[in-house]
Amino acid sequence: MRTLMRLSWVELKLFLREPMTVVFSLALPLVILFVLGGVFGNEATRPGEEVVYRGVGPMTYYVPAYLALVVASVCVISIPTHLAGNRERGVLKRFHASSVNAWAVAGAEVAVAFVLSAVSAVLLIGAAWVAYDFAWAETPLAVPGIFVLLVLGFSAFGIFLGGVFPTARAAQAVGMLVWFVMLMVGGAGPPPEVLTGGMQTVGELTPLWHAVRMMHDAWLGLDAGPSWLIFGAISVASAGLGLRFFRWE
C-alpha cells in the first residue's frame, strides 16, 4: 500500500506537468459545456414537439453526460499517453528493476485518474450551477458510486491503449481519435435523437454511450437498460487485455 501511495503521488506530479492533461481533463469539457449551453440553453421539449435530450433540458442532459466525458478525457487521452511515454523514457523499466509490479503501476494510474476526474467534475458542476438552472440528481447517493465505476472502467481501457501502442505519440493520436468519436456519437455531443441510424450504431459500440446512460440512470431517473452489463464487459475485457499486453520496455 505504501508503494502504491508513493507511486500515485509521483505519477500525479508527472501528469500535471503535461499540458495536454490539463487541457483535456480540466479545460476542454468546461469550454464545450458552455458553448453548448450558450447555443441550446436549458428549455425542455414542449408537448407536441420532437423529443430530444431524452425529454429534459439540454443542460440537465449535458451535466451528467459530461461527468462521464471528463472521466473519458482523463483515461482515454492522458493515461495512454503518459503510460507509453513512461515506457519510452525508461521509467517503467526502472520501476520493474525496483520490484514494482504491473498491478501497482495500474493502481497508480487509476488513483491519479480518479483525482483528476473528481477535480474536473467538481469544477464542471460548480460552473454549471452558477451559470445554468439545471435539475439536480434524483438519486444523489448513487452518482459517486457510478462515477467510481466509470473511473475504473475507463482506466482499464486507457491502460489497454497505453500497453498496446509503443510510443506516446501513437497512444495520444489513437486516444484523441477514440475520444472525439465518442464525443460525436457517444451521447455527450449531439443528442442521440438527431443521430442517423448508422451513427447510433457506432455510438452504441463505444463505452461512453453506456457510461452516459449509467450516469443518466442515477441523475435523471432514466432506465440505463443493458448499458450496465455492456460497460462492465468492456471494462473487464480492457483490464484483461491491458495486463496481457503490458510491457515494461
Query: pLDDT digits over 184-221, tens only?
Result: 898 888 877 777 888 888 989 999 999 999 998 888 87
Give 218-242 pLDDT, tens digit per residue: 888 777 788 899 999 999 999 888 8
pLDDT category, 48, cuts 50, 70, 90?
A: very low
The residue-averaged pLDDT of 153-180 equals: 90
The DSSP 8-state label assigned to residue 49 in this structure reads S
Which one is predicted more confidently, 110 or 40? 110
Write down the mean pLDDT value for the chain. 83
The answer to whether residue 53 scores a pLDDT higher than 70 is no
Residue with cell 501513437: 170
How many other CB atoms sit within 10 Å of the CB of residue 39? 8
Q: What is the Cα–Cα distance from 221 to 223, expressed in whole angstroms?
A: 7
Give 100-142 pLDDT, tens digit per residue: 787 888 888 899 999 999 998 998 888 888 877 777 878 888 8
